[in-house]
Amino acid sequence: MKIISWNVNGIRAVAKKGFHEFVANEDPDILCIQETKAFEDQFIKEVWELDWYNYIWHAWEKAWYAGTAIFYKKWITTLDQKNTFWNLVYFSEHGRMTQIETEDFVLLNWYFPNGWQKVSGPNMLEYKLEFYDHLIQYVEWLKSQGKNIIMTGDFNIVHTEIDIARPKENVNSIGFLPIEREKISELFSYGYTDMFRHFYPDQLDTYSWWSYRAWARPRNVGWRIDYFVANNDFVEKIIDIRYMNEVMWSDHCPVMLELK
């Protein structure tokens, strides 16, 4: 099974740059999208040609911000799917999460708050940290039900210094603050694994996001903020992970996970 996760920074925009060809060539069994920036009817009207997939969509009340979606091949039987969490408003606001459950695992597709005050309001860093607290509570509840868990998406935090091209210059930057990085460490301490670092613990210069400024991407001055994370008991089912840096149509690149 192949799962691809990608922050497209606007699904209608990438649809004009080769999105359909990318999906057809890579042929993922499951495709997780973040920052769709579109209502479902806009997607159907302007983008939809993926007839061999079912999907679950989650948009905010405004089309220009956030949103997530999961596409899964029609042969995949889902036991459950969610895009609304009545008791967890953090996940429902802004369309930040979609979820499907198969016979083998629960797949959680996240678009985490970025924490930038000038974009999102004066308390967004606090909101971001609380979002992580709710995430940990939720996945621990799923695990207590005997579920295996795969989490993916734009986590909007760099975990370690080797996951960012300029660690010293960004020590006070949102997304690399010590208090944020501690939240990633806290999540992993509950028994979850960053699959890239599992397979490639010391690999350098692998990133998933590049600023549009100062030719950051051609120079590979990037941040690794897009992850696949699995509970430790499920790690043995995963074969490999790859950051698809050659795909250029967003400020993020897709990430591909292979399962047995």
Q: Does position 124 have pLDDT exceeding 90, yes or no?
A: no
Q: Does position 117 have pLDDT exceeding 60, yes or no?
A: no
Q: pTM of the entire structure?
A: 0.94
Mean pLDDT of 34-60: 94
Specify the pLDDT at position 87.
58
Q: Does position 99 have pLDDT exceeding 60, yes or no?
A: yes
Instruction: Write the CB contacts of 230 (distance below 8 Å, at least 6 apart in sequence).
Output: 148, 149, 150, 151, 192, 193, 195, 237, 238
Q: Which percentage of the chain shows pLDDT scores above 70?
A: 94
Domains in the chain, ordered, with CATH?
2-259 (3.60.10.10)
Q: pLDDT-based confidence at 85, cuts 50/70/90? A: low
Question: How is residue 149 written in tokens?
Answer: 């868990």
Specify the pLDDT at position 119.
43
Rounded to 5 degrees, what are φ and ψ at 226? -110, 130
Q: pLDDT-based confidence at 116, cuts 50/70/90? A: low
Mean pLDDT of 129-158: 95
Specify the pLDDT at position 114.
85
**pLDDT single digits (tens) 151-178:** 999 999 999 999 999 999 999 999 999 9
Distances (CA, A) of 43 to 61, 154, 180: 15, 21, 33
**pLDDT single digits (tens) 175-204:** 999 999 999 999 999 999 999 999 999 999
The more confident residue out of 61 and 254 is 254
Q: Is 154 among the residues known to form the active site?
A: yes
Q: In the β-sheet with 149-154, what is the strand arrangement from edge to edge?
A: 80-82, 97-101, 106-111, 149-154, 226-231, 192-194
Beta-sheet pairing, 2-7 with 30-34: parallel
The rounded distance, in Å, linking the Cα atoms of 71 and 4 is 10
Specify the pLDDT at position 123.
75
Q: pLDDT-based confidence at 72, cuts 50/70/90? A: very high
* Segment of 89-103, 118-132, 191-205 carrying the highest mean pLDDT: 191-205
Helix or strand (DSSP H, E) at 139: helix 124-144
Q: Does position 80 have pLDDT exceeding 90, yes or no?
A: yes
Instruction: Write the CB contacts of 59 (distance below 8 Å, at least 6 apart in sequence).
Output: 36, 38, 39, 40, 67, 95
Distances (CA, A) of 187 to 111, 198, 223: 16, 15, 19
Listed residue (186, 183, 169) closest to 223, CA to CA: 169
Residue type, 141: W
The more confident residue out of 41 and 90 is 41
The rounded distance, in Å, linking the Cα atoms of 86 and 1 is 31
Catalytic residue among 154, 163, 194, 226: 154
Q: Does position 84 have pLDDT exceeding 60, yes or no?
A: yes
Mean pLDDT of 111-131: 75
Listed residue (56, 38, 57) closest to 46, CA to CA: 38
Q: What would you report as the CA-atom Rg of the chain, rounded to the nearest whole angstrom?
A: 17
Q: pLDDT-based confidence at 34, cuts 50/70/90? A: very high
Mean pLDDT of 223-231: 98
Distances (CA, A) of 2 to 8, 12, 48, 234, 242: 18, 24, 21, 15, 11
Q: pLDDT-based confidence at 95, cuts 50/70/90? A: confident
Beta-carbon-side half-sphere exposure of residue 213 (alpha carbons within 13 Å): 0
Q: Does position 118 have pLDDT exceeding 50, yes or no?
A: no
Average pLDDT across the chain, whole number: 93
